[in-house]
Structure formats: C-alpha cells, structure tokens
Structure 1
C-alpha cells in the first residue's frame, strides 16, 4: 500500500471501490510504482494544491481502470513484460490522414491488409478528433476531444479500428493537442459566456500591457497568415467585454492555461478515455508551448516536463500499454529533456521526433557533403536507453532549416548562407537543382524560407519524370531509397509518410480547395493512389514500383536485424570521404557499420577504414553480399547504402 501517497481514510475508500482483490492489488502496485512520480511533479507545478489534486485525479483514474476493456488490460500486462516494445527493430510506422488514405475509419479498416503487407506495426492517423468547421489548421484546432470528425465516422468506429489493428499487431497512434483548443470548443464557449471556472482555462488580458511585454521575447509561428501571439475577442474581457486572448498558432486556436490544475484533470480524463478506446500512442502536439513565462520564448519551460511526467505516470497506473510521443521540434539541447534528464531520466515521453536528422538528410542530399550532418549528430547527448526516436524523411509539415550556426561554423560554412542555399535548392531556384518544392512562410526580417513538397518531388523524381531521362529517374529513385534506408537503420521507429512508398509527387490540386489554397503544405498531402498501389505489385520496374519494392525489402531486412534495437545508439564515425556518412552501432551480437553515399558519384573508400570496426570479412545485410576488407578498397555506387556486420556473426 503506498502509504506515502494516501491517508488511511483515502486508502480505505479506494480499496472499497474494488470488488476483486486481484484487480485492487494490480491498481495499488502500479500506484506504488508510479504514484510518487505523479505526486512529485504535481507538487513542482501546483505546490500546496498538489495533494488535493492527486485525490481528484485518483477518482478519474479509478473510473477509467474499472471501465478498461479486458483485452486492453491483457495488453497492459503484455507490455509490462515487454517494456521495450517501442524499441524493437520490428517497429515500422505509417502516417496518414484518414480521409486521404481511405475516406473513413471503416475505409482504413478495409485496407489493414495493405498496411500489414507493407510491414507496418504502428499507424498514426493524423488529427481525426472533431475540429472546428472551416479553417482548422489541418485538424489541430480541436472542438471536441470526445468525438470523431463526423465525415470520418464515430467513436465506435475508432474503437473497432483500434481493435482490428491490435489483432494484427499494429498500434494505433493519435494526436493529442495540448497547447490549445478551437475557440468553438465548449471550454472556450463557456469562457466567452462569462463563466469564471472556464475563463481560468485560458490566458485573457484586458489591455495590451502584458501581451506586449510577452511579445518582446515570443517568436511568431506563422508570420504570414497569423502574425503575433494574441488575438482581440469581443467577449474575452471581464463581464463579456472585449479583451485579448493568447493564440500562439492561429486566431481560432486558444492557448490553454496549464497553470490551472483543472486543465490537467481534463486531459488526464481525455487521455484515459481515448486509451480505453484502444489508442496506444499519443502524439503530444505542440507540447513545447504549454507553459508561459514572461521574458522567455514560452517554450521548453521546466514545468512542461513535470506536466508530461505527471500525465505519463497517471496513464501508467491505469493503462501501462500506452506510450507518449513528444512533438517537440526544438534544438538538440532542449529536445533531450522531452525524453528525460536528471530526475526525469526516461520518465517523460517514451519517444520524440528526431527533427535534426530529417533536416540533415535533405541538407546533405543537396550539398553532397556529410560533414555538417556528422557535426549535428555528434551534438546530440545520449538519450535514455528506455526511449526511442521517431525518424522520418518527410511529414505532414513544412521543412524548416534548423541548421545551427555553431555547427555550420565548425565545418567552415556560414549558417545563414547555407540555409539560404537550401531554400534556393529545394524551391528549384538554384541552378541545376533536381528538387521541386514550394517556399512556405518567407520571413523578410530573417530571410528564412521554409519548404513544402513531397519526398519524391524534393528528391528529384518529379523533374526527372518530366524530362523522361532514365538516368535522372534512376538517380531520383536511388535518392528516395537512400533517405529511407537511413531512417530504417538509425535506431528508432521509421515513420513512412503516406504515399512515399509509392513515390507520389507534389499534388498541385490543393489550390482548388478554398480552405487549403492559402497553405501550400497541402501540396505534399495527396490522396492515396490505390490504383498505383495495385500497379506497383504488377509492375515492379516502374519508378514507383522500384521505390515500393526497395522499401519492402529494406523493411524486411530491418525486422530481422536485432542490431537496430533502439536502446543502442548510432555513433558517427569519421568518414574518409565527405560524401559518405558512416554510423556505428555496438550491439551485444556484434557491431553494425552503416555506410551511406550521399552523391551521384562512385566513391572508393580505403578498406582499412572499415577493417578496424569489423575485421577482415564483412557481410552486407541489405544485399547479402560478402566483402573482404583485406583488399585495398571498397567501392560505393551512387546513393548506395551498406549495413555491414562481421561475417562470423552471421555464420
């Protein structure tokens, strides 16, 4: 019994809530394990209110525990026996918009065979909880966390899909928007109606005094179409008069006041409700922004990590099968805290996006020089061994050139100049560039330009197909496969963005849809081409077929390679040629050495540079080829990747 957490009276009341002694013992054992983490974090954020808040949360948690379906309770026990399930080399993710992939949730259910055949074990369906009508930031302006977008189906459909996926060994992943809600959300409507309880859910200001003080240090997320961080609302002031409300992203997305413990209790209830529907991983959207502090950027504040740890601990007590993924697109020094450092080590999010790797992949592809990537990857501190990275070539968002000036200077280039080059290259303005992308959110003050575009178009396939040049087409196919081979081999969960497995190019028809026309990120959010998905199986020699077959082969190899367990770090090895990235992974079964040629040229490497890592004989897991490193050199074809192990490991 966790006496340190509970008074005898509360402990007895909790015990009486159970009819089954075994159920009670399970709940109290988990409370004993995770309760101290929960209470410690509550005390850090809410001080003297923490003990009363814990009692309120326990009522929510008890209700969720009692109503958790039996098959999910069984999954909880299985996950407790395999706590490294997210780190397995068998994990492969797929990211899609429900409507663009299959129309509805029932439509997704009809295509589970396709996902299973591709090797997917983790399905992230982009925002599907009911958003505001009209413009809604791609679904991230949530109007109701307890219902599904009507055109996609119902909550029962969501539960049915989750159950079917679970039966195929596929985990359902959903977005949980934590920083803000739509201004049409019930909480915001009741706040605008003057209810004090709900006014405290938001940040309201009667004049521009404090907003201007905050603005002095706040960045702008969308300077083109949502400048500033505060919006005037005619009902936001006291007594229904006008006032200013904090709106980091868009005027219709109202930031929540996490300093109010009622907001935390709401989200614990929401998380556990969705977990009982079968959601296994929550993508914590805009997590970096949830705590506000004057004189700062109001990002990455210490309270963010205490709050995430509290949410995770509450989920662990009721539904330990559930995991958290931090959507924190921040600098490496800030990012590591979302996986946990110090007393939070390994106790915050279970997974975070490796945004830097994505940026460096495209940077290196353009420059044909891996030295900046080497420098950036070396800057990452080791992550907790019980956590994992989410690794991606592309996602639903734009690419922001998060190139550190310090990293650039260490390899002898200028950060601003390199970022300018990348924007020119991927928008097609640079002479000889193979890429076909669009500039998103040009900032005239800083000169920064972000880029939209599908992976295939950015890698040159769109341009190559228009030219009809088979050599250029082959090079574009090899670029796409190289990029995906890196994320499959880096150590984490590779996340395939819908359509990339079919090499879908830019969809310029987005401009014909009024609510999408102003946001060119929809150019890389195409509808699934099911006819092409069938055709690539029958015609594997087409460009799309070659990409599809190549990805399927690499996924199969990954699943059989224990060296790719995410508890193992990938370490950058100094490369004898700047066109080649070398990564080393030291697994108990032996060393895995990965080589990636980021150029369209054949590269000859001295064999001695590999011999010290692998010995005299090596085998490439991707091709099955043997390499005798006693020979003077090893040749890498254009965009070739090798996953080398010592030959004796596999005999």
Structure 2
C-alpha cells in the first residue's frame, strides 16, 4: 500500500520501529507460532487505518505525543451520560455542548450506543454491530460530527468497547450457529456438559437473580455456549488470534471516527483458564498491552480505560506492573474510593478508608485513576476482610451494615437506595440509587426538614471534593451536578423493570437546569454552584496533577480523613470531615507537612499551624497548601 508522501511513510515507520518489538513481545506468549502470520495481518490492518485517518486527528496525534501527560492534567474532568437520556439523539447531544463546556468538562463518556441486539440488551452491552449506532440515536456520520464538535471545544469523546462478548445476534455468532468453523472458533462452544461442568466448579455467578450459571444451551449451535453475563451475550475466545485481529480493526475504525478514549468493558474476563475464576489471568494484560500498542502506532491520541472492578492487588496490573509497567491501560477505575466514600459517610468513620488506601501499591506515574462518587452500575461493597480487620471491624458485618443503611433499613439512615442482586448464599446485597438520594436529599425533602436538606447538600459536595482532590480524572455522572433524585419510573418501562439500576439512570432535567441561575436557593442550584467552584479551584491547582498520588496521613480523629500530596511545587494536605459534627484537630498534626502557615485553596482562608487547634465544620473539606 503506497503512502501519500514521504513524511507519512517516515511517521508510520518511526512508530513501527518504536512499538514493533513491544507488539511482538506481547503477542508471542499468547499465540506462539501463529504470531508471525498475525503480525503480517496486523500490519495490513494498521496501514489501512493509518491511510484513512483524518487530517485533524493526525494533528491531534502529534499534539498528544508532545504532551504525553494530557490525561493527567488537573483540568481533566469527565462527564458520563446515556446519549438518549441526556439529549435524545447524538445530534441532540451536540446541541448541549455549551452546557458541558460551561461545567468544565474535558472528557464526555457516552454510555453504550453502538448497535445492540433488539429487546433486552444489558443496557447496551450486548453489541450486535460495532460499526453502527443505535438507530434511534442516529448513525455513524452523526457520531463523527459530534466527535468533531467536541474536539473543537477541547472535549474528548469516550465510548464503551465491549471486549468479553458479543450479542447472540452479532454476525460472528450468527455464522457460528450456521456452522462456519472459522466463527465457531471465535467462541467457547461445547457439545455436552463435560467442559462447562468442569469450569463451573470454580466460576462465580455475576447475575445470580436473572442469569444463573455461565453456560447456555443453544439449539441452533447445538452446543453449550459460554455466557458469563446473560444467555444472549456470547463470550469470545481471545485465545484465537482472529478475535484479536478483529478488535484491532474495530478500535482503529472507531478511532478514525473520532473516538479518543475507549472504556474496555469487562476486561477482567477475557481469558479463560480451567480451575480458576477465569478473571484477571496474566494473558489479559498481554492482550491489553498489545491492543494499546497497535493503537499507539496508528492513533497515538487514543487512550484506554480499564473497566476492572477487582481487588487492589489485581487492579494495579491493569495499569501495568513489572514488564508491563505503564504499558497496559492509561486509566483504570478506582472503585475502592467510591466504596469507601459511602462507607465513611454512613459510619462517620474513616479508619477503613485509610486502611483500604494503604493497601494500594503505587501506580505507574504515567497512568491515572478514574475516580467517582457513583457510576451507572450498582454499588457493590468491595471491602476486604483483611482491610476491615486492620480497622477493627468485621468485614461481613460491615458489608451487611452498609447494605442495611443504604437501602434505608438501618435505624437513623438518611439514605434511599434499592437492593440489587441479593445473593442468599453469600449474603451479598448491592445497592442502586442516585447520589443525592443516597446522601439523604430525597428523604430530607419529603420530610420538609431544611436542616437535613443542608446536611444532604453538604454530604454530596464533600464526596465530590474528595474525588476532585484525590488525583486522576474525576467522573461526574449525569444528574449529580443537579442533585437529581431516584427515578422510580424505571419500573414502568418493561425492558428496564427487571433491573433497578435504572433508578439511577434518569433523563436529564433540562427545565431544572434552566432554573438554577434564577433560583439559587434550589438544592440543584446550590449543589451546582458548589461543584462549579470545586472544579474552578481544581483547574488552577498544579498539586492535583495525576502523576502524584494521594497518601494517607494519620488522623487524630476517626471522623476526619487526611490525604497528603507531595508535589515538587510544595505539599498539599486535604482534610475531610465525614460527619455532621464539628471537629477540632490539633494544628501540629498538619504542621510537619505544611509548615507554620497554610492556605485553604477552597475557601481562601489562611491558617496558622504553629499551635492551637484547627476547627472543622460538619462535612467541611480543606485543600491546604503552604503559605509564604
């Protein structure tokens, strides 16, 4: 294939020289003798995509290469929404970019919008066609137009890339059912229960309520198909190099459509191994590294975000350890921060939060965390018994307490949440709910108690202050910036009714958004103004560059979390009161880090730490730096 000019040829060859060995080293342990053939096929796919890459995206590639820490800047802010629930269609989303820009968003994650199977589709995660958009949202040209408009405002488009499975209606699965041996080899299909039964001995159930087991008999395929999540989602066989080649082609196709960040969905499940839970296998990291390397050659502006909701010891591998250091994903979800935020808020105690953070090994300095108050999924109480024991708690009892508290069953609870996927065998109860409802605003408004309304607003802003100060890319989930409450109307929609996670996936209330400037007393307006202030301060704080990590400082009071960030320009200490109590701290507890004088970036207040005490109002947050 000929290059357009010598400069293009030189660019491609230089990148190939830089990353070629990395690509080969990642693939050979996976595919052995087949690697040579695969590399030849990959080169053709990458060359074709490189030639097709639009000029403005090539410029973005060069800009990102000159600023490799673009994703780590303190000004990075993500916003997560379903396109239809935010604005109806992709064109509708394009009509609200001024709103996103005004909020300070630099990174828009539109939840699954590639063409799913008809009917039940796991919220869009059962993809029938990766090269088409849901028909009710628009088409691929609309997606490209939106991506271009976003880029013009400095906002990167993120899409979900479902890697573990495809819909039963996907062309590959249809060909497999028709008997095509090439495509049957894309899946795990067994003629009888011998193989499935052997695997099931060590496999957990993801959705025990409505999708028990991990295999489904398919009459047309005449076999048992591996279906980890739902019967209509067929797990792919990544041990087949053909599957890897298909996904490189898909990633580059979507990158050329303007997708800048790929959320790698269900990535922990890609590699299957008998006698294990078939999660977090070493081959997963080789696969991710190889996919990222191929993207680096053609589209270096692209970043990968790993959706791996796993234990800290496993999570760090998705950012890279050892030979993979900094070569796997650019970002990973810090699920533990979300869990500990809600745990500390309910218990008014941060000791478990401290222990959980101490358990995390340091990440590669070139990578970043995605941090969030809540997400589109439920909240699972991922609290290890070991962390709990170090904090003087029973892990099982604390998880039960949190489920009781956030479902409103615990005496004195302020929360309004719904139990999701109760597992009587393990006692596991996950929680669904909007941030404002879980923080107490729904109950406070119903009770007409202004004091409790104020507490709920303060709680919601405290939680956001923590994720904005923690370091990484803070992810705002649609509606939280307006303190939207639970949407119980989900039960009236047949395809949503069985899944109560739709209670926290409401439609955007544009009428309310339009009122907040004229009615500043509204809870929505107060939360929005507070959040915008936090975001403005964050953008101007170099201490929050994501190459620096937040470290726990010993706190003299269990209600208060202290985090320390050691930046070359000076240290920052963050102070968070997770209770409705006024708390007094000895000033000397902060003086060693900050010196005798400090300033709070959030309020502008100055503090003398030479002696005496530091007074914290309920739910107060401080971002302290040393002062001259």
1:300-321 alpha-carbon deviations (Å, 9 max, x no partner):
0011000000000000000000
Which residue of 1 is the match for residue 207 of structure 2? 222
Which residue among 161, 168, 171 is the counterpart of 2:146?
Answer: 161
Which residue of 2 is the match for residue 233 of structure 1? 218
Deviation at 1:229, TM superposition (A): 0.2
1:23-54 alpha-carbon deviations (Å, 9 max, x no partner):
11100110111111111111010011111100
Which residue of 1 is the match for residue 437 of structure 2? 457
Matching of residue 376 in structure 1 with residue 356 in structure 2: yes
Deviation at 1:180, TM superposition (A): 0.1
Which residue of 1 is the match for residue 124 of structure 2? 139
Deviation at 1:68, TM superposition (A): 0.2
Which residue of 2 is the match for residue 532 of structure 1? 512
Which residue of 1 is the match for residue 31 of structure 2? 46
Deviation at 1:630, TM superposition (A): 2.2
Which residue of 2 is the match for residue 191 of structure 1? 176
Which residue of 1 is the match for residue 448 of structure 2? 468
Matching of residue 320 in structure 1 with residue 305 in structure 2: no
Which residue among 448, 472, 486 is the counterpart of 1:506?
Answer: 486
Deviation at 1:17, TM superposition (A): 2.4
Deviation at 1:510, TM superposition (A): 0.1
SS of corresponding position for 2:515: helix
RMSD, aligned CA: 0.6
TM-score of the aligned structures, taking structure 2 as reference length: 1.00
In structure 1, C-alpha distance between the alignment counterparts of 2:446 and 2:198, rounded to whole Å: 52
Describe how 1:34-433 pairs up with structure 2 within 5 A.
34-236=19-221, 242-433=222-413
In structure 1, C-alpha distance between the alignment counterparts of 2:22 and 2:42, rounded to whole Å: 14
Deviation at 1:337, TM superposition (A): 0.3
SS of corresponding position for 2:602: coil
In structure 2, C-alpha distance between the alignment counterparts of 1:612 and 1:245, rounded to whole Å: 60
Describe how 1:535-550 pairs up with structure 2 within 5 A.
535-550=515-530
In structure 1, C-alpha distance between the alignment counterparts of 2:517 and 2:68, rounded to whole Å: 36
Which residue among 539, 557, 574 is the counterpart of 2:554?
Answer: 574
Deviation at 1:243, TM superposition (A): 1.3
Matching of residue 621 in structure 1 with residue 606 in structure 2: no
In structure 2, C-alpha distance between the alignment counterparts of 1:350 and 1:411, rounded to whole Å: 32
SS of corresponding position for 1:516: coil
In structure 1, C-alpha distance between the alignment counterparts of 2:609 and 2:448, rounded to whole Å: 39
Deviation at 1:235, TM superposition (A): 1.6
Which residue of 2 is the match for residue 7 of structure 1? none
1:434-484 alpha-carbon deviations (Å, 9 max, x no partner):
000000000000111000000000000000000111100000000000000
Deviation at 1:542, TM superposition (A): 1.4
Deviation at 1:19, TM superposition (A): 3.7
SS of corresponding position for 2:45: helix
In structure 2, C-alpha distance between the alignment counterparts of 1:411 and 1:98, rounded to whole Å: 42
Which residue among 491, 500, 504 is the counterpart of 1:520?
Answer: 500
TM-score of the aligned structures, taking structure 1 as reference length: 0.96
1:60-84 alpha-carbon deviations (Å, 9 max, x no partner):
0000000100000000000000000
In structure 2, C-alpha distance between the alignment counterparts of 1:243 and 1:26, rounded to whole Å: 48
In structure 2, C-alpha distance between the alignment counterparts of 1:338 and 1:449, rounded to whole Å: 27
Deviation at 1:212, TM superposition (A): 0.6
1:518-539 alpha-carbon deviations (Å, 9 max, x no partner):
0000000000000111111222
List alignment gaps of at least 5 residues for structure 1: 1-15, 237-241
List alignment gaps of at least 5 residues for structure 2: none
Which residue of 1 is the match for residue 18 of structure 2? 33
In structure 2, C-alpha distance between the alignment counterparts of 1:127 and 1:540, rounded to whole Å: 34
In structure 1, C-alpha distance between the alignment counterparts of 2:443 and 2:428, rounded to whole Å: 25
SS of corresponding position for 2:428: coil
Deviation at 1:20, TM superposition (A): 1.0
Corresponding residue pairs, total: 628
SS of corresponding position for 1:135: coil
Deviation at 1:343, TM superposition (A): 0.6
SS of corresponding position for 1:514: coil
Runs of at least 4 residues off by over 3 Å: none
In structure 2, C-alpha distance between the alignment counterparts of 1:313 and 1:485, rounded to whole Å: 35
Point out the more displaced range, 628-637 or 597-606: 628-637
Deviation at 1:379, TM superposition (A): 0.3
Matching of residue 644 in structure 1 with residue 621 in structure 2: no
In structure 1, C-alpha distance between the alignment counterparts of 2:4 and 2:314, rounded to whole Å: 46
In structure 2, C-alpha distance between the alignment counterparts of 1:24 and 1:351, rounded to whole Å: 30
SS of corresponding position for 1:515: coil
In structure 2, C-alpha distance between the alignment counterparts of 1:538 and 1:355, rounded to whole Å: 37
SS of corresponding position for 1:86: helix
In structure 1, C-alpha distance between the alignment counterparts of 2:2 and 2:30, rounded to whole Å: 29
Which residue of 1 is the match for residue 576 of structure 2? 596
Matching of residue 482 in structure 1 with residue 467 in structure 2: no
